[in-house]
Structure 1
Amino acid sequence: MEGSGSMDKKAIVESVPQRGFFGHPKGLFTLFFTEFWERFSYYGMRAILLYYMYYEVSKGGLGLEEMTAASIMAIYGSLVYMSGIIGGWIADRLIGTSKTVFYGGVLIMIGHIVLALPFGATGLFTSMAFIVVGTGLLKPNISSIVGDLYEETDGRCDSGFSIFYMGINMGGLLAPIIVGTVGQEYNFHLGFGLAAIGMFLGLAVYLATRKKNLGLAGTYVPNPLSLEEKKKVFTQIGIGSIIVAVLVAAGLITGALTLAVFTMTISVLGILIPAVYFFVMYRSPKTSAAEKSRVLAYIPLFIAAVMFWAIQEQGAIILAQYADKRTDLSFMGLDLQSSWFQSLNPLFVVILAPLFAWLWVKLGSRQPSTPVKFSLGLFFAGLSFLVMIIPAFGGTETLVSPMWLVLSFFLVVLGELCLSPVGLSVTTKLAPAAFSAQTMSLWFLTNASAQAINAQLVRFYREDTEIVYFGIIGCASIFIGLILLLFSSKIRGFMRGVN
């Protein structure tokens, strides 16, 4: 089946059993649990990866410098989001979303299995390559299949995405507690093994129920390459791969390709790729005058989102380090694991998301505009860093209460719920029609760019620079939020009727 016109869409929806999972199509069960286990594996691995990298070899770690480990974490996150562009293209042009999701899951599982084995630094970088490519194949495409389950006029669609989003956060909530405890209490490789089992369970659910529950959803190729185009594209990919391989090999042999050089290259790409996207969209003859205006309106929103994610994503890097080194892990008679704090973000999302959804519905036409919601997101993100200055005033020699981290994670989630759900929606609305298929990639690039910048930022964090570090980044976020607020009506004018 090629294309997905109205007739095709009707046939796809009719092939999916429409009742069976909380009043939703049965396929939502398949996708919910596949994504639950995929996020369990990813966030479980991420909760202990930083510690695995910088803990001494005698404690089961790799003994890397803390600054280097933090930088690797940021680059890893950036590459995971950048690879979504490739995953979207493969699904759209070659094999469809269903197969792409499956192959992505297999690669992720292999990545976790490699980490579970004692292969040292070689195993670390090999597993990262598998997980980066695998997540890029799976992440953007599984969301796309959710959309395939519903007619365009089906009122259950938004609710279906909300349930799916809960699956993501429930996986992210449980993983740091289970994988974190096993990894830190017993053995890091055992923890990574649990992450591999998580992905295996996700694949098992997907394979066992896909045919019966998903029908034709995800089986079509929306914009297939012709035979001629395939030859051309594969030739270009082949030549490009050979050039990259030669450059990497030469860099490694001569010693020119160091970790610092690689990190800086990704950081530069994190800024260049979206800049090229915007330039191409704006200059394209296929973009109308009204669409050009909307592209300009999207640029400040994109920058604001990058600033927000730069703070939010440091929850798994700098705040994870803070939990391990600066926090009193004996609290009210409990012995806490530093990895458990990674559960706070999804916990607060699960609790607060329904409240925010209710609030926006309640306010209706009186709710804040998109630029104002973005600026609110930046205020909360900035505050989440500024509160971390307070315990530092007492000196950095004593351990601080874990409640400071709880407060910081709480504040950044308030910001996330103002900015994140609105972000994807406004991205699709402001995108030129000729570039609509690539808009999801552009939104994911806000996170990729943020983490590419973080790879350089996190190098400045040390216990003796805490006040300056949290203060400058927190104030920068609030400052950008203020500028966005001041120009919000101007930006709305450029949005040409989009709210």
Structure 2
Amino acid sequence: MALAVVPELAGVAIGLILIALGTGALKSNISSIVGMLYDEDRSKRDAGFSYFYMAINGGAALGPLLAGWTRSLGGFHAAFALAAVGMVAGLIQYSLKMRSLPARASIVQKPIDTPGLLRAVALAAGFVVVAAVAWQSGVVDSGNLTHVVALVSLAAAAAYFVTMFRSSEVTAQERRRLTGFLPLWVGCALYYGFLLQKFTTVSVFITDRVDIVVDGWEMPAEWLSTSSPLAVILLTPVVASLWTRMGDRQPPAALKYAIGFTIIGCAYLLMTALEMSNPGHTVPAFGVLAVLAIAGSSETFIGPTGLSLATRVAPERFKNQTVGVWLLALACGSLISGLFGTLFAEISNGAYFAVLGGAPLAVALVLALSAKRIDTLTR
């Protein structure tokens, strides 16, 4: 709502801060609650998280469509107001249904005491001061902000892993599970480095090379990005049903990751074929839409699986923190995506997308060969 009613830079700053705080409070906690629903039936855990992920992507698909349409009619403030209405509707729905959740979902396992709260506030205030000084001095600017945030996220994830491995409150079995979770966390960061290309280099490619005019009608640019979440929505019921039918015979998490990496690798190889068949010429919009849909469908095998695994292997003392660490993999993926982006300007488009297609296939092979060992560690 701040983005809708507060003008200019102040609205952007206030809105982004509130979004960050709200997302931080929501994402790790809601994922942990979903994990609680399947404590007694682990064979259905990945299927349950698949439907949870489908709901997330439902918003990701409707958001650009509705916000893009509203922006075209009433500007950005109207679009942000529409987003606020959607959030209020979600809050009402949660309030009405929260009584159906497991009883322990309302229990704070490790409530923060007053000294701990004061330390957290002091740490947050110190971080804000350091960030402000870095911005004013020019150490951090709009050109390197994304990389700085990603590096901070990587440092935070590393600190959490070290803390959990060294904690006396983490049992030997929980530490072993974290050992198996670590390579999949790295795999998740790599995966989102590939997937997030759709917001960077693929967006540049679309702007420069894709004709979005169909019979005189110009397709809104926001609509192109909806093919990825729509693919997740359409594929999720099929995949979730498959995991449910397979039960305890379903493939281990690392093998599901390998499937996802294979799919996204094939998507970028298709992009390579589109580029090479139209060198220097306009590329059909529907071809790129197909690439984005295939790339998006790969998330069905990695996103829900990673969330499910994070809630299952999380030490009792660090339930929400482990889910938070998994979410930090997305931020680290943005760093990897940016590093790939620097290569985009150095080589031809065809060669670049060939690299993006081949690299995930190599990761998929490594994960497939390591799947049995990783599964043993995470049990």
TM-score with structure 1 setting the length: 0.65
Larger of the two Rg values belongs to structure: 1
Report whether the alignment pairs 1:269 with 2:152: yes
The answer to whether the Cα contact below 8 Å between 1:252 and 1:258 also exists between their aligned partners in 2 is yes
Q: Kindly tell me: are residues 162 and 369 of structure 1, through their superposed partners in 2, closer, same or farther at Cα, counting changes over 3 Å?
A: closer
> What CA distance in whole angstroms lies between the structure 2 residues aligned with 1:181 and 1:190?
10
Q: What pairs up with 1:350-499 in 2 under 5 angstroms?
A: 350-394=233-277, 397-462=280-345, 465-495=348-378, 498=379
Aligned-pair distance for 1:154?
8.8
Query: 1:110 corresponds to which residue?
Result: 2
Query: 1:243 corresponds to which residue?
Result: 126
1:176 alignment partner AA: P
Query: 1:174 corresponds to which residue?
Result: 62
Query: Which shows bigger deviation, 336-345 or 194-203?
Result: 194-203
Q: Kindly tell me: are residues 435 and 191 of structure 1, through their superposed partners in 2, closer, same or farther at Cα, counting changes over 3 Å?
A: closer
Report whether the alignment pairs 1:129 with 2:17: yes
> What CA distance in whole angstroms lies between the structure 2 residues aligned with 1:477 and 1:154?
32
- Which 5+ residue runs of structure 2 have no aligned equivalent? none
SS in 1 for 2:211: coil
> What CA distance in whole angstroms lies between the structure 1 residues aligned with 2:370 and 2:223?
40
Q: 1:302 aligns with which of 178, 185, 210?
A: 185
Q: Kindly tell me: are residues 341 and 282 of structure 1, through their superposed partners in 2, closer, same or farther at Cα, counting changes over 3 Å?
A: same
Q: Kindly tell me: are residues 254 and 144 of structure 1, through their superposed partners in 2, closer, same or farther at Cα, counting changes over 3 Å?
A: closer
> What CA distance in whole angstroms lies between the structure 2 residues aligned with 1:290 and 1:211?
32
SS in 1 for 2:19: helix
> What CA distance in whole angstroms lies between the structure 1 residues aligned with 2:99 and 2:182?
43
Q: Kindly tell me: are residues 211 and 483 of structure 1, through their superposed partners in 2, closer, same or farther at Cα, counting changes over 3 Å?
A: closer
> What CA distance in whole angstroms lies between the structure 1 residues aligned with 2:150 and 2:98?
41
Give CA deviations for 1:76-128 in whole Å, capped at 9, x if unaligned. Answer: xxxxxxxxxxxxxxxxxxxxxxxxxxxxxxxxx324544xx4x1x55434432
Give CA deviations for 1:187-241 in whole Å, capped at 9, x if unaligned. Answer: 344333332333344445556x47988898865433223xxx31x2243234334
- When the two structures are aligned, how many residues end up with a matched partner? 377
The answer to whether the Cα contact below 8 Å between 2:140 and 2:148 also exists between their aligned partners in 1 is no
The answer to whether the Cα contact below 8 Å between 1:375 and 1:481 also exists between their aligned partners in 2 is yes
Q: Kindly tell me: are residues 295 and 362 of structure 1, through their superposed partners in 2, closer, same or farther at Cα, counting changes over 3 Å?
A: same
Query: 2:110 corresponds to which residue?
Result: 223
> What CA distance in whole angstroms lies between the structure 2 residues aligned with 1:356 and 1:307?
22
User: Equivalent pairs: percent with the same residue?
Assistant: 28
SS in 1 for 2:283: coil
> What CA distance in whole angstroms lies between the structure 1 residues aligned with 2:51 and 2:366?
35
What is the RMSD of the two structures over their aligned residues, measured on CA atoms?
A: 3.5
**Structure with larger RCO (C-alpha < 8 A, sep 6+):** 2
Q: Kindly tell me: are residues 152 and 417 of structure 1, through their superposed partners in 2, closer, same or farther at Cα, counting changes over 3 Å?
A: closer
Query: 2:163 corresponds to which residue?
Result: 280
Give CA deviations for 1:278-329 in whole Å, capped at 9, x if unaligned. Answer: 2233333444444433322222211111111222233334334443442211
SS in 2 for 1:482: helix
TM-score with structure 2 setting the length: 0.83
Query: 1:83 corresponds to which residue?
Result: none
SS in 2 for 1:274: helix
> What CA distance in whole angstroms lies between the structure 2 residues aligned with 1:127 and 1:472?
37
1:258 alignment partner AA: D
> What CA distance in whole angstroms lies between the structure 2 residues aligned with 1:173 and 1:478?
27
